[in-house]
Amino acid sequence: MPMTNKLTIAFSRREAELYRSHGLLEEARQLYRQVLDEAGALGPGLVESLQDKIRRLEDDLAKLDVDLTDVVSERELCILRDGWGDAQSPSDVNTCAAALGSIGLYEAAIEEYRKLVRLQQPYVDYIEGLTDCLMAVYASQSIEGAVDAIVERDQPDTAHPNGLRIAVAMELARRGDDHPALVLLEAAHVIRPLPHKIDALAKALKERLRSAAAQGPENTATSSRGRAHQIKVRLANRLARLRGLVRRLRKL
């Protein structure tokens, strides 16, 4: 097995275990499944280990039987999806998208964020929330395709062809998700040469990835600790927003 595949598998398994340890069972299952499906020729021992972890996660998920209606009623979900009224302002749409994302309805949130793309709202207003949802729904190697689909379907012809790609890439780079950020920037460069500052970012990302690969698996532990902190903060923020949201909705 090539060394790059070994490093990818090692990192992905640590990341999946990190998700599992913080209660993100579905995310962990998807990541283990991704390794199993895409890693190429795996040894029988590794295949059996991955399949066992996937089975255990599926058993745990089956026991949970979580339904969002336990905390948010159908009426409240309809209010969220409808954006609190027919005459939605961009601010209403953004609030609706953030609320949907905060309770884990990521795909519905992306639909709301697409409205903001169509309305040509400033990326800074919503790019963090959109990126959160994209990362929750898609594997990292699929982010570029998801952004391309939004650009193709929703971005007006008058908008800069690379605006959304660059904005998502910069947000990913800020979080330390260098690979999907670089993929987006390379795709953008094919469409139109990147501005000097953005091109410099792409080169820096490429160098960081090259350096991380050269350092080997031991570098993965540092990355995993950083991701652990990010996940804890994200979970804490999500729970806080959910509690506040449910309190407000139940007053309606």
Rounded Cα–Cα distance for residues 123 and 143 (Å): 17
Q: Tell if the pTM clears 0.75, that is, is over it.
A: no
pLDDT at 59: 80
Contacts of 129 by beta carbon, 8 Å cutoff, 6+ apart: 94, 97, 98, 101, 109, 113
Which two three-digit tokens encode residue 215? Answer: 């350092």
Residue ranges for the chain with pLDDT beneath 50: 1-4, 65-71, 83, 220-222, 224-226, 229, 233, 236
pLDDT for the residue 116: 95
Predicted confidence at residue 149, as pLDDT, reads 96
Percent of the chain surpassing pLDDT 70: 67
If phi > 0 it is left, if psi is from -120 to 50 it is alpha, else beta; for residue 100 that is: alpha
Report pLDDT for 66. 45
How many CB atoms are closer than 10 A to CB 69?
Answer: 10
DSSP assignment of 196-239: HHHHHHHHHHHHHHHHHHHH-THHHHHHHHHHHHHHHHHHHHHH
Helix (H), strand (E), coil (C) string for 44-86: HHHHHHHHHHHHHHHHHHHHHCCCHHHCCCHHHHHHHHHCCCC
- Say what the pLDDT of residue 106 is: 83
Q: CA–CA separation, 91 vs 87, rounded Å?
A: 11
